[in-house]
Amino acid sequence: MKEYELKYGCNPNQKPAKIFMHDGSEIPMEILNGRPGYINLLDALNSWQLVKEIKEALGMCAATSFKHVSPTSAAVGNPMSAELKKAFFVDDIEGLDESPIATAYARARGTDRMSSFGDWIALSDKCDVTCAKLISREVSDGIIAPDYDPEALEILKAKKKGAYNIIKIDTDYVPAAQEHKQVYGITFEQGRNNFKIDAQLLNEIVTENKEMTEEAKRDLIIALITLKYTQSNSVCYAKDGQAIGVGAGQQSRIHCTRLAGEKADKWHLRQHPKVLNLPFKDEVRRPDRDNAIDVYLSEDQDEVIGDGFWEALFTEKPEEFPRAEQREYLASLKGVCLASDAFFPFGDNIERAAKSGVSFIAQPGGSVRDDNVIEACNKHNMTMAFTGMRLFHH
């Protein structure tokens, strides 16, 4: 396939639209099912690069859930606890423990389920039957992977009444060193961002605390690679082999840190017994459960557990989960990792990170207020590494 005509571009009025290779060569992917659109393909190609790089850096299979050209999460196939499976609505998936690629996607999808509604999926490894069954029951636009088990492919083809987008990527493809794009008729050219992210990037530790566990290195690498394909400004919280809170496209870094921190907090709070034991009625769908949990963890929880509201969702009135109790629970957490695509300009980012249990940080450094940021880390006994490399993505 040397050219693929699209229904339209970013919006229905943007016609004609197509993808092709400027050198006239074959497009390095095969559309096995469906008719992906312009934004679908942007998500597919960005997400594939993300999981490919995590696999190369850590030697573990990886998955990501993408929406609007940024990841909601990325994860490796680290085994899941019973609590995490229940929190992510995958405790009923048979064979999950035996399928690292399905586990990776279960983690990625479960992190921020509201944002992942209608996602694009990327897998670093072949999609097996367990992973396909998991995907089959979620609302999703499409998937890109290097290969598919025959039975898995048939399961996926049945989604969306046969219109589910399925792409097979050529893993041997290497893009040109220079890349181009046009804005307002003007062509931009730059070298591809081939910067390699690995554990050596974390060697320059600038805080009093020099401890850096192997788990922290793994999680910081996942966070940094996730940021490499997230719309800037961006920060990423990570824990247990996955991104647990991604803040993308914010003009202010502290707003980005707060946004991602709120998502990370909800990742933890979803595993709290009060949330795990919410008495949902059997007929309440997963997206409606996601919305209800989101409100339950907010200041507006009366809108789901107040009289006249809870009856539609639950078999009995749930127990209140006051904000003060939530904050107390979050204050007990440690070991969370935080990465930033550019330097932290003020210590307020560190203060916010501390509220979400952050113990390890990776950021480029280079701010005129680095001393202030380091001082804030020392105050909270955090370990911070300067990577020396900005990871802006636009």
Report the alpha-carbon distance of residue 297 to residue 94 in Å, rounded. Answer: 29
Q: What is the CA radius of gyration of the chain?
A: 21
Q: Which of 22, 161, 210, 394 is catalytic?
A: 394
Q: Which of 33, 46, 233, 349 is catalytic?
A: 233
Q: Would you call 380 a catalytic residue per the annotation?
A: no
Q: Would you call 233 a catalytic residue per the annotation?
A: yes
Instruction: Provide the b/e sequence for 83-106 (b: ≥16 CB within 10 Å).
Output: ebbbbbbbeebeebeebbbbbbbb
**3-state secondary structure at position 356:** coil
Report the alpha-carbon distance of residue 295 to residue 111 in Å, rounded. Answer: 16
Task: Label each residue of 215-256 as H, E or C.
Answer: HHHHHHHHHHHHHHCCCCCEEEEEECCEEEEEEECCCCHHHH
Q: Which residue has the tokens 């993408």?
A: 66
DSSP code per residue over 256-298: HHHHHHHHHHHHHHTTSHHHHT--B-TTS-HHHHHHHHHHHTS
Q: Which of 52, 68, 126, 274 is catalytic?
A: 68
Q: Which of 55, 67, 133, 217 is catalytic?
A: 67
Q: Would you call 180 a catalytic residue per the annotation?
A: no
Report the alpha-carbon distance of residue 110 to residue 88 in Å, rounded. Answer: 5
Q: Would you call 67 a catalytic residue per the annotation?
A: yes
**Positions marked catalytic:** 67-68, 233, 394
